[in-house]
């Protein structure tokens, strides 16, 4: 593993730790930080730093847009399930399965529409 890969690992992990620590103190602020596409931004930065290939980044951003859409219902369904008495793990499990099914639907719809990722 190179020094750059180690740096990427620790900086990327630091973002996740920061969000969870902020959430313990201020959920509103953590929600805003968490809603930022930090993972995507970091991936764009790391790809550019390593490859300098803007077409790769453009293609990656385009694909990411389409695959963010099937994840959005999870952010409505999980709180609904939890507030209705579902346990965390069963609720999260159902959301993961639902998101996976929505990914499959999205891929099918994109193929039918002729969108190439």
Domain-wise residue ranges, the chain: 54-117
Residue 87 above 90 pLDDT?
A: yes
* 32-61 average pLDDT score: 90
Predicted structure pTM score: 0.78
Mean pLDDT of 48-67: 94
Model confidence at 48: pLDDT above 90? yes
Work out the pLDDT band at 32, boundaries 50, 70, 90: confident
CA angle 44, 41, 110 (to 5 degrees): 75
Nearest CA to 92 out of 105, 110, 108, 80 is that of 80
Average pLDDT over residues 9-17: 88
């Amino acid at each position: 593993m190179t020094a750059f890969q180690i740096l990427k690992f620790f900086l990327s992990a630091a973002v996740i730790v920061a969000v969870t620590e902020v959430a313990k103190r201020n959920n509103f602020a953590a929600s805003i930080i968490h809603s930022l596409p930090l993972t995507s931004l970091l991936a764009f930065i790391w790809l550019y730093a390593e490859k300098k290939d803007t077409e790769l980044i453009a293609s990656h951003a385009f694909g990411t847009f389409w695959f963010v859409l099937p994840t959005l219902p999870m952010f409505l369904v999980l709180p609904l399930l939890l507030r209705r008495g579902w346990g965390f793990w069963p609720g999260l499990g159902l959301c993961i399965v639902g998101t996976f099914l929505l990914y499959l639907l999205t891929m099918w719809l994109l193929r039918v529409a002729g969108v190439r990722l």
